[in-house]
Amino acid sequence: MVQQLTVEEFLEKSRQLPVIDVRSPGEYEHAHIPGAVNIPLFDNEERAQVGIRYKKSGKDAAVMLGLDLIGPKLTSFVKQSRKLNPKAQEVLVHCWRGGMRSGSFAWLLNTAGMTVATLIGGYKAYRNAVLEAFAEPRQLIILGGKTGSGKTDVLKELARQGEQVIDLEGLAHHKGSSYGAIGQAPQPSSEQFENALFAEWRQLDPTRRIWLEDESRNVGTCFIPLPLWEQMRTAPVAFIDVPKEIRIQRLVLEYTGIDHQLLIEATERIRRRLGGKDTQLALNALAEHDYATVADITLSYYDKAYLHGLAQRKAETVQRLDITEDNPAETARQLRAEEYKKVILG
């Protein structure tokens, strides 16, 4: 018998059991439940063929075409599924709406002696749960600071010291600026970014505070879900004020050895904001491998932009912490100090 599970039940079981996504490769590649394995009932072309047949000739004709297409694959489906959990022979299965694709696949595996559960409402129900979760109030603290302040390293230290942390830039594979994609893996779709964010969000204790870096609504091409973004904009900000000299040193270390063409392209992308004269000065410095000058010039723009955004927040929600040395571990300890927590948390 095939069991049907709610989203919460399905995700809870997925901690121990493999998840099979039977949607087409194109659907899966766009976005999927983190950790799910794609065993598509139909490939992209086959899915299109079935859809066309449904529109032209109706459901029965589409079902018959579907059976013709998947018939030769049945043995492969079972073998692939068994490999995912060879001892327990138990898996979770879902499709887009929790309809025929997952139902048929689950029936096949169940007939072959496996224990199977499907997701009620399918991936669509999961996506609804993802978006609803970010509207739930959480005790957020936003880690602020100008470009080059080492906020990501401070977040990592906060996590090592026992704090709950979400690294938005890490999930988005982007550091937020025009230079943010350099050295990073390709960005996920916004939908997949939300799914990955949700996977971390639901693991956190809702009674404890959560630290996130101060970000624009978009991190590269990924967008922070609006309900979470609205919470972030009203949350208290711990603004670490790091001297420009330290930030320049950090940026020089980060971008030394990077493909110059990528740095040139990133600089050109902010030409309008930087101004023609400063852009040319930065490009000239790049040609000379003078990364410190490039950082100095571009930080003038990024600092103004960041401080403008910070000024849009209520002044009483922003607490400044002056930093005199590049020591993320010590910065994290200061952020966690009792006297500082009282100011931030009220």
8 A C-beta contact, residue 31 and residue 47: no
Q: Which of 95, 168, 235, 282 is catalytic?
A: 95
49: exposed, middle or buried (Cβ count in 10 Å: 0-12, 13-18, 19+): middle
Distance between CA atoms of residues 149 and 250, nearest Å:
8
**Backbone phi, then psi, for 15, in 5-degree steps?**
-65, -30
Specify which residues 239 forms β-bridges with.
Answer: 144, 320
Report how far apart, in Å, the C-alpha atoms of 68 and of each of 42, 50, 112 are: 11, 11, 20
Label the pairing between strands 218-219 and 222-223.
antiparallel
Task: Give catalytic status of residue 222 as yes or no.
Answer: no
Question: What SS3 string covers 145-206?
Answer: CCCCCCHHHHHHHHHHCCCEEECHHHHHCCCCCCCCCCCCCCCCCHHHHHHHHHHHHCCCCC
8 A C-beta contact, residue 21 and residue 33: yes
Kindly tell me the sign of the dihedral angle through the C-alpha atoms of 223, 225, 230, 233.
Answer: negative
**What's 326's DSSP letter?**
-
How many other C-beta atoms lie within 10 A of the C-beta of residue 200?
17
Report how far apart, in Å, the C-alpha atoms of 193 and of each of 40, 97, 173 are: 22, 21, 9
Distance between CA atoms of residues 236 and 227, nearest Å:
16
Distance between CA atoms of residues 146 and 242, nearest Å:
8
8 A C-beta contact, residue 82 and residue 108: no
Report how far apart, in Å, the C-alpha atoms of 322 and of each of 108, 149, 268, 332 are: 63, 11, 33, 13
What residues are annotated to the active site? 95
